[in-house]
Amino acid sequence: MRVWVASRNPGKVAELQALLGAGLDLAPWTGAHLAEEIGATYLENAMAKAEAVRAQTLDWVLADDSGLEVVALGGRPGIHSARYAGLTATDGENRARLLGELEGVPAGERQATFVAVLVLLRVGHRALAATGTASGTIAETERGQGGFGYDPLFISDELGITFAEATASEKAAVSHRGRAARRLLAELGRSGGFDPLRQGG
């Protein structure tokens, strides 16, 4: 059973495939329409993205909404993380804006939290949702070559290095998306008859 990922972010899709590929047959959505992220919460955005794709297919749909919440910035960029420097901003431009806004903020006041919400939908079934978080601090300069998004700036409290410096397995063990993915799989296991690997139709 195919599960479409309601995202065109290649880094996010690859990470979800690595995290959930052993339990779900994931593929990036290639259809015409994806919902705009105009909700007030991560869950609202994830649901909107999942619903938009589900309206175009009877298959399973997985959607993610995530963001970086920086204490010194009052929780920004939060749900606006992907477009922090503008609607068409690159990851590098978003990171540059973040560093600019934190210029002069001392290391002890650069705490941040990554948040991810995953939603799994299919026509005729209730939605399943799972949330994961990861705590850390924002580095003063980019570090590491891996990951995507804000990973080169996010120093994980548990790893002591940025997500971009970590291996994929190290990051998955403590990341917001990794935790949300494991919780979603656990929820699937607890929900009788809601297993896309076994249920036909």
The residues carrying an active-site annotation are: 65
Going through the chain in order, the beta strands assigned E by DSSP cover 2-5, 25-28, 60-70, 77-78, 111-121, 128-138, 154-156
96 vs 90: CA distance, rounded Å: 10
C-alpha torsion angle, residues 132, 4, 38, 15 (rounded to 10) = 40
CB burial of residue 36 (10 Å; 0-12, 13-18, 19+): exposed
DSSP three-state, residue 3: strand
163 vs 159: CA distance, rounded Å: 8
151 vs 165: CA distance, rounded Å: 8
195 vs 71: CA distance, rounded Å: 38
- Residues paired with residue 54 on neighbouring β-strands, in sequence order: none
C-alpha torsion angle, residues 36, 9, 122, 38 (rounded to 10) = -20
